[in-house]
């Protein structure tokens, strides 16, 4: 059954539709719609007129704006063309300037290239000249403190500064100090009693005290002691034989000189390094011109002394072979303007032997004590000596000199200063040790670590700044100390081994003094005899240090 509400709604709608239908049929609705349409059309026509008018105004404004913009565009185009012409002109100028600048740049680059080449050449020449300057300066500054040159060959003498403060006291013995009077000798003449002064005889108040002042006047004189032997000659009338009494030993020639004269001339010429002429003249002056010894006799004394003392030197050579440590060194000699060499071997107990050799190297070592030695050799880094002996110790005195030279000529490096201080500290530590022998200690290990650390510093410094071509001594020393480290530090582990080779150095100075006095020897044999005589004199002083003259006199007989 349909709802009442729906029915009413439908009825209302029906009435509405019926009323609209009547209006349509009667034409009233059409008229209303037409009027409404006409009204709306008039409104729209009015709006269209307004819009057309606005469009016309907008069109006019568009034309005006267009014309304005065309004018502005024309002005801008003209201005642009003008600017373009100016830009083209500027561009042309810039192109010309760029071409000119490129040309100037190329010329400048060429000039810079030439200057760079000149700079490199100048820098290379400067570096070369600096190297030469360094080399020459190192050669000029070489002396006994920073090289192997002996102090006697040093031209410039350094003044030794006196660090003591002035006390204001007079020089000489001070009040209260016990005096050291000269030794009095046994009088050789009758005692001379001086007569009293006249004041004693005139004044009776002066009495003798019993005290006597004794003073001696000592003089020397040489007395010529001549012993003359007479032997009657007997003739045998049957056989024609002539006989006479035998003369004592040594009395052969008509005039013979005993051992005292021979020893005097021998020691004066070989030990005191005086020339043969001066030795003869001195003896002649002492004897008032009575003794005038020939040059030949004086020159033969070395040979005679050397031949007579051969057994003693052989015995000393055998004793030196048993020493645990031995020093050895070599120096130049001159024979008729040619070079030869003198070797020395010495033991810490004072024994020493000199050897003359024509050549250096293994031929020079042959026949010396070092050839058959089986102990520790102390030397100055002569590579030949490394082929002999059981072990080796480098002379640290030479190393200190070379380090000082490196410090002076390579001031920018630090390793040489550190190594110089370390070696001095090690030698000082070694000298304080009084025990004859001790094994390795912690201190020795610490020194070795510092030694290696300094060598590493040297390696880095020479890698960063290589050694100068004209001065490589510092770099070569570093390589040597690195390679022969054990031989530089051997003295720390055995206190019987000295740190330097000064024993051999001092002994060679004896020969150098004779060489400087003689300048050159006439024959190699004279150098050989001199070496043998010097060896014997050292051995004799070791046995009888007080009076060597008597011992030499007995040898000459």
- For 297-322, what is each residue's pLDDT tens digit? 998 999 999 999 999 999 999 999 99
Q: Which residues of 60-92 are buried (b: 16+ CB within 10 A; e: fewer)?
A: eeeeeeeeeeeeeeeeeeeeeeeeeeeeeeeee
pLDDT of residue 3: 60
- For the chain, give the percent of residues with pLDDT over 90: 38
Spell out the alpha helix ranges (H) of 322-395: 362-365
Measured CA to CA in angstroms, residue 246 lies from 178, 217, 240, 251, 257 at distances of 60, 45, 19, 10, 18
pLDDT tier at 486, thresholds 50, 70, 90: very high
Average confidence (pLDDT) over 25-46: 82
pLDDT digits (tens, 9 = 90+) for 40-54: 888 888 889 989 888
Using DSSP, state whether 326 is helix, strand or coil: strand
DSSP category for residue 170: P
Query: Is beta strand 325-335 parallel, antiparallel or unpaired with respect to 376-379?
Result: parallel
Across the range 77-99, mean pLDDT stands at: 90
Domain extent listing, the chain = 4-108, 322-556
Quick one: which of 442, 511, 459, 535 has its CA closest to 152? 511
Structure tokens at 287: 């004897």
pLDDT of 131 strictly over 60: yes
pTM (2 d.p.): 0.70
Confidence of residue 239 (pLDDT cuts 50, 70, 90): confident
Percent of the chain with pLDDT over 70: 93
DSSP-derived secondary structure for 379-444: ESS-GGGGGSSSEEEE-HHHHHHHHHHHHHH-TT-SHHHHHHHHHHHHHHHHHH--SS-----HHH
515 pLDDT higher than 90:
no
pLDDT reported for residue 378: 96
| Among the ranges given (57-66, 142-151, 467-476), the one the predictor scored with the smallest mean pLDDT | 142-151
Higher pLDDT, 418 or 240: 418
Q: How far is CA 467 from CA 131, 407, 423, 477, 520, in A?
A: 10, 13, 23, 12, 40
Taking only the tens place, the pLDDT of each residue in 326-354 is 999 999 999 988 899 999 999 999 999 99
Q: Output the six-digit token pair for 554.
A: 């007995």
**Mean pLDDT, all residues of the chain:** 86
pLDDT higher than 50, residue 1:
no
Average pLDDT over residues 415-438: 82
Comparison of pLDDT for 303 and 149, the residue scoring more? 303
* DSSP for residue 462: H
Sheet holding 352-357, edge to edge: 352-357, 338-346, 325-335, 376-379, 391-394
Give yes or no for residue 165 having a pLDDT over 80: no
Ordered DSSP codes for 173-235: PPTTPPP-PPPP---SSPPPPPPPPHHHHH-TT----S-----------------------EE
DSSP 275: -
Cβ contact 468:134 at 8 Å: yes
Which range is most confident: 14-28, 286-300, 451-465, 533-547?
451-465
Q: With contact defined as beta carbons under 8 Å apart, do 518 and 368 qualify?
A: no
pLDDT 10s digits, 385-399:
999 999 999 999 999
d(CA 291, CA 116): 83
pLDDT at 391: 94
CB atoms inside a 10 Å sphere around CB 370: 25
Number of neighbouring beta carbons within 10 Å of residue 45: 10
Average pLDDT over residues 539-554: 86
23 φψ region: left (φ > 0), alpha (ψ -120 to 50), beta (else): alpha
Give CA torsion, residues 141, 142, 146, 151, to 10 deg: -120
pLDDT (mean) for 288-304:
90
Residue with tokens 């044999």: 525
pLDDT for residue 82 is more than 80: yes
- Number of C-beta neighbours around residue 268 at 10 A: 19
| Residue 156: per-residue pLDDT | 54
Report the pLDDT value the prediction gives residue 154, as an integer from 0 to 100.
59
Interior/surface letters 207-225, b for 16+ CB within 10 angstroms, e for the rest: eeeeeeeeeeeeeeeeeee
What per-residue confidence (pLDDT) applies to 437?
A: 46
> How deeply is 106 buried, as exposed, middle or buried, from its count of CB atoms within 10 A (0-12, 13-18, 19+)?
exposed
């Amino acid at each position: 059954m349909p709802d009442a509400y729906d029915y009413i709604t439908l009825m209302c709608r029906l009435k509405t539709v019926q009323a609209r239908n009547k209006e349509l049929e009667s034409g009233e609705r059409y008229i209303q719609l037409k009027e409404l349409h006409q009204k709306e059309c008039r409104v729209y026509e009015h709006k269209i007129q307004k819009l057309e008018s606005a469009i016309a105004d907008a069109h006019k404004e568009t034309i005006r704006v267009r014309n304005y913009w065309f004018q502005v565009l024309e002005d801008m185009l003209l201005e642009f063309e003008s600017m373009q012409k100016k830009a083209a002109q500027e561009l042309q100028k810039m192109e010309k300037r760029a071409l000119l600048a490129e040309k100037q740049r190329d010329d400048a680059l060429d000039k810079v290239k030439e200057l760079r080449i000149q700079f490199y050449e100048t820098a290379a020449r400067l570096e070369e000249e600096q190297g030469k300057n360094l080399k020459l300066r190192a050669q000029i500054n070489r002396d006994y403190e920073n090289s192997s040159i002996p102090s006697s060959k040093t031209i410039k003498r350094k003044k030794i500064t006196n660090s003591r403060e002035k006390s204001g006291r007079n020089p000489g013995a001070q009040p209260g100090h016990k005096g050291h009077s000269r030794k009095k000798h046994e009088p050789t003449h009758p005692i001379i009693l001086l007569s009293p002064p006249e004041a004693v005889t005139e004044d009776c108040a002066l009495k003798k005290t019993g005290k006597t002042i004794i003073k001696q006047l000592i003089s020397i004189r040489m007395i010529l002691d001549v012993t003359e032997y007479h032997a009657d000659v007997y003739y045998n009338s049957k056989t024609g034989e002539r006989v006479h009494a035998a003369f004592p030993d040594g009395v052969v020639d008509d005039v013979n000189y005993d051992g005292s004269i021979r020893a005097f001339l021998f020691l004066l010429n070989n030990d005191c390094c005086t020339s043969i002429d001066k030795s003869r003249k001195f003896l002649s002056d002492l004897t008032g011109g009575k003794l005038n010894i020939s040059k030949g006799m004086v020159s033969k004394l070395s040979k005679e002394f050397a031949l007579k003392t051969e057994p003693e030197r052989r015995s000393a050579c055998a004793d030196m072979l048993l020493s645990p440590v031995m020093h050895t060194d070599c120096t130049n000699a001159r024979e008729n303007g040619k070079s030869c060499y003198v070797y020395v071997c010495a033991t810490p107990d004072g024994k020493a032997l000199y050897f003359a050799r024509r050549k250096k190297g293994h031929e020079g070592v042959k026949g010396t004590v070092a050839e058959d030695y089986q102990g520790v050799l102390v030397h100055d880094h002569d590579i030949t000596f490394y082929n002999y002996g059981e072990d080796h110790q480098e002379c640290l005195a030479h190393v200190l000199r070379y380090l000082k030279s490196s410090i002076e000529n390579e001031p920018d490096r630090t390793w040489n200063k550190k190594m110089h201080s370390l070696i001095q500290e090690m030698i000082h530590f070694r000298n304080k040790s009084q025990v004859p022998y001790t094994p390795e200690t912690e201190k020795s290990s610490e020194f070795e670590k510092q030694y290696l650390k300094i060598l590493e510093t040297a390696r880095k410094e020479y890698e960063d700044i290589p050694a100068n071509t004209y001065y490589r001594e510092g770099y070569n020393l570093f390589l040597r100390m690195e390679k022969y480290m054990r031989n530089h530090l051997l003295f720390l582990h055995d206190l019987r081994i000295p740190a330097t080779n000064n024993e051999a150095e001092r002994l060679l100075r004896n020969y150098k003094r004779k060489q400087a006095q003689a300048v050159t020897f006439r024959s190699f044999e004279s150098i050989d005899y001199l070496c043998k005589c010097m060896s014997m004199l050292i051995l004799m002083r070791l046995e009888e240090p007080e009076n060597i003259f008597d011992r030499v006199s007995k040898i000459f007989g």
